[in-house]
Amino acid sequence: MLNSEKYTIMKKMILILLAAIALFSCNDIAVDMPNDFNISPVLPTTIGDTLKGDTLVIKKGDVLVYNITGNPDFITFYSGEKHFNYNYVGLAHRDADSSIVAFSTKLSSGTLGKLTVYASNNYSGNFTDVNNFIDNTKSVDITSKFKFSTTTAAQASGNLRLDSVTGIDKSKPVYVAFRFKSDTIKTTDKPQKWIISAFSLKNCFADTTYVNANDMRSAGFTTKSLSSPSNYWYFENAQMTFLLNAVGLNTPGEDDWIVSRAFDLGCVWPDGGLIVKTPNNTGIVTTYSYQYTKTGIFVSTFLAKNQAYTTSKQVARKKIIKVIP
């Protein structure tokens, strides 16, 4: 057989093999639904009648044992407690009950100038767009909502529900800005030196709290001086300080900004579960034990899943657990 004929035959075989692989990859892999998976809790003996309808009543500290039947590839347990709620698995955005912003201020020198705080949905993230804060049709002046220091002692601002501010859409990204502004210096007075610290913004839910930012740095504040470059905001540890350099008479006034990154007022940590079984586990899992250390009513969930490549099928088995003192 000539080499050219061998090459042609080999080429045809390769094409047939590639076609078969492509056909195989385009078809779903057959995966069985793990319908034979079930759970049954073993009733503790620490109290009397522990099954009230569909609710299992146990004492705090009881070790609850579940009998398990079936042999799925994966089993994951969600206790229903904080951060382990099956309803919130993979859910990184929810409607928060409130979004709280707070900070502290103090002064170290100076007598001139005003500190203003804004919130806005209409900022592009670029300082060329800072006029959207100055324009009160595109931002909200929230200065009056806070307390400010008048001395060298730190003053907590108090908490503001940013989501309840008129003119702020909590479904859109929100920016927070601080502005220091003073007129032209015509006396020996100098601009005030403000120190802003302890900035925080938290999304509060019934079951958890998500921290958007816990200091000035994590809030992503960036600085911009719209007037004299000699005076500006700068970071001092996690604080943001308005730096006061020596200024002479009749020097230009100040207009200095710091603007946060965008905040999502619905951001939250997605809940997770505890791994009971994976394909790497040897043998069949027949029992699982868990201990509730707090009182309350929880929906415990076992998720069973069979998977091959990208194809999977799953079932969830739930039980209402009431934990009493």
In sign, the C-alpha dihedral spanning 192, 229, 218, 236 is negative
* Higher per-residue pLDDT: 164 or 22: 164
CB of 94 within 8 A of CB of 220?
Answer: no
Structure tokens, 257: 């900004």
pLDDT interval class at 322 (50, 70, 90):
very high
Give the Cα separation of 37 and 320 in Å (integer).
18
Assessment of whether the complete model's pTM goes beyond 0.85: no
* Higher per-residue pLDDT: 215 or 124: 215
pLDDT tens digits for 285-311? 999 999 999 999 999 999 999 988 888
Q: What is the pLDDT of residue 118?
A: 94
One-letter amino acid at 139 equals S
Helix (H, G, I), strand (E, B) or coil at 128: helix
Q: What is the pLDDT of residue 251?
A: 64
Helix (H, G, I), strand (E, B) or coil at 7: helix
pLDDT tens digits for 204-257? 998 899 999 999 999 999 888 777 677 788 898 889 987 765 555 566 677 888
Helix (H, G, I), strand (E, B) or coil at 133: helix
Helix (H, G, I), strand (E, B) or coil at 49: coil
Dump the DSSP string for 243-291: E-----TT---EEEEEE---B-TTB-PPB--EEEE-TTS-S---EEEEE
Give the Cα separation of 303 and 75 in Å (integer).
6
Segment 179-197 shows an average pLDDT of 76
User: Taking the C-alpha atoms of 206, 211, 215 and 218 in order, what is their torsion angle to the nearest 10 degrees?
Assistant: -160
Helix (H, G, I), strand (E, B) or coil at 307: strand
pLDDT tens digits for 23-76? 445 455 788 899 999 999 987 766 555 767 778 999 998 899 999 999 999 999
Burial of residue 230 (number of CB atoms within 10 Å: 0-12, 13-18, 19+): middle
pLDDT interval class at 147 (50, 70, 90):
very high
